[in-house]
Chains A and B, each alone.
Chain A
Amino acid sequence: MPYAEFKAPKGIIKVSLKLDGDSISEIRISGDFFMYPEEALDELEGRLVGVRADRESLLEALEKFYSETKVETPMIEPKHFVEAIMRSLRG
């Protein structure tokens, strides 16, 4: 699976993913960041499946995830996850 890492202000976000056409069909996110509550990362991966793999669609999905789940990720923002995912597309 294509894989890439992105160093965010706090920690490294590691992403591997599979595409089906233009959309994400499988994604695994790991890294040394914090996310409260922790279970939200499974939810994020679930939400990203089916999302078009372009910057705009990803940012929209991430921002929706943050606002709907009230998740907190100290020193990490939606755009950092987007950047890690975009890099994995190239990776």
Chain B
Amino acid sequence: MKSWRLLPLRVDEPFYSMAIDEAILRLKADGKSPNTLRFWRWRPSSVSLGYFQSLNREVDLEVAKKRGVAVVRRITGGGAVFHDHDGELTYSVVCGQNDVPRDIEKSFEAICEGLIRGFKRLGLDACFSPLNDISVGSKKISGSAQTRKWRCLLQHGTILIDPDIRLMFELLRVSPEKITDKFISSAYERVTSIKRELGEKPSFEEVKEAMRLGFEESFGIYFEEGELSSEEISLAEELKEKYASSEWLMKR
């Protein structure tokens, strides 16, 4: 059975977190990093923007400033995500292009299958919702984004444990007059969380453990606990500057 590396749960500022994902991807491509799964949280709470999204069209920067929410652009496409420090866990997978199906939708599904099995372990009947979401009932509980570079693949995504949904929809651009109770109730119909479905909030470590087992099952692999290498750390320190730059943030 093949082994992948599992990293300890980290809590980092957003620019560094984005840089760690890219550093692992680049060094995997150089043959210096193993296939890796990691889980991490955001401090402060942040909005991550898809690579192709326009900053000003997607994020209410005044709300973000007022609420102390950071904003960062990802290297992956897809939509804007609110990462609540207290209510959201993010995962990242880095592997070879050949470790997942070539077809884009099938590759999203293959990686999401690990999470789906994890959600099931937590007692939730989750299913894949193409292209890149996982739902419980008809409500989204997880969304993922992916990039492929240098014959390798990075997929990262959100696991909604108990996020502040009102703040989520205030940050992600919708005209203010729409943030009425009616709008929020419709948002509640589209998005759910582990806390909402189970009635209680599991710890971040419990969620991580369920997902780890889910990935082991779905990929037929086992995880060896490891640490970031010193090369990954120094590359991440370097890449952090890009993510923190206004040029990168305002790219579109």
Contact = CB atoms under 8 A, between A and B. Distances in A.
Nearest to A30: B54
Contact of A38 (B52, B57, B80): B52
B80 A32 contact: yes
A21 to B, nearest CB: 26
Interface string A30-52: 11111111100100000000000
B124 to A, nearest CB: 24
Given A29-B52, A30-B53, A30-B54, A36 B79 contact: no
B149 A30 contact: no
Contact of B131 (A10, A14, A31): A10
A11 B79 contact: yes
A35 B149 CA distance: 12
B8 interface: no
Contacts of B76: 34
Interface string B100-117: 000011000000000000
B77 A32 contact: yes
Nearest to A34: B77
Contacts of A34: 76-78, 104, 131-132, 145-146
B147 A36 contact: yes
B252 A32 contact: no
B149 A32 contact: no
A79 interface: no
A66 to B, nearest CB: 15
| Interface SS of B by simple majority | loop
A91 to B, nearest CB: 13
Contact of A14 (B57, B104, B145, B146): B57
Contacts of B132: 34
B131 A32 contact: no
| Interface SS of A by simple majority | loop
A72 interface: yes
B177 to A, nearest CB: 19
B104 A36 contact: yes
A28 interface: yes
Contacts of B79: 11, 32
A30 B52 contact: yes
Given A11-B79, A30-B252, A72-B104, A35 B131 contact: no
A9 B76 CA distance: 19
B75 interface: yes
21 contacts: A28-B54, A30-B252, A31-B52, A32-B50, A32-B52, A32-B77, A32-B78, A32-B79, A33-B52, A33-B78, A34-B76, A34-B104, A37-B148, A38-B51, A38-B52, A38-B75, A38-B77, A38-B147, A72-B104, A74-B104, A75-B130
Interface of B: 50-54, 57, 75-80, 104-105, 130-132, 145-149, 252
